[in-house]
Structure 1
Amino acid sequence: MAAPRAPTQEPALGPSIRIDKLLWFLRLASSRNFAQDWASEGHIRLNGRRIERPSAAVRTGDMLVLPLRDAVRVIEVLAIPVRRGPAPEAQACYRYVDTSGNGDHSRA
């Protein structure tokens, strides 16, 4: 009899959410359809890896690189939102990460 094989995937590390739904809930995308297109076209990086599917799972602590407004922004997911609520509720779920070494960016 063959020895049992070890699992090939790591166990889930807490709750997750689809990247398109997250971007819409966080009010970083104006619609979920826009967020799906953004992901499908490869404009988003999740923990350094290019994302090409809107169903990619995002968890607390993950880093996202997004083209926002006139700049490329890095955000850290602080909490998984449960709904598309008001802006202050959405902003409490993420923070901008300063990539220039000057400290945290304020939300612009």
Structure 2
Amino acid sequence: MTIGYDAEQLASTARAIGAQVIRVPVRYRGREGGLDVGDVDIERPLCELKDQEVLVIVAPLRPAQKVPTICGLCVTPYEGGECPACKAEREEAKRVVEERLLFDQEFSALLSEG
């Protein structure tokens, strides 16, 4: 048995006993953050069950695709251990500082000669 098969069986059983089953893709919004649950207004079926105790089951139909990490500083999605945009900015800033220090050292040397 697979995840998808088991989830489909669960949905079939749920429908058979009169439960509402919603099958939609869950997508990450990207830079905005948060998740979209298809085009479904998830509040509508929940409002119909207001003041009742409900059981919510969320089951994947297939293994998930890897979702990229979102950088907490620049909100760029990336994979791996470090945000490439922030890494590039840090490396550029380091290069600029090193150039400035070299310039200052050379300028100081010229002033002390003269």
Q: Fold match, TM over 0.5? A: no
Q: Which has the higher helix share?
A: 2
TM-score (norm 1): 0.22
**Largest Rg, 1 or 2:** 2
TM-score of the two chains, using structure 2 as the length reference = 0.22
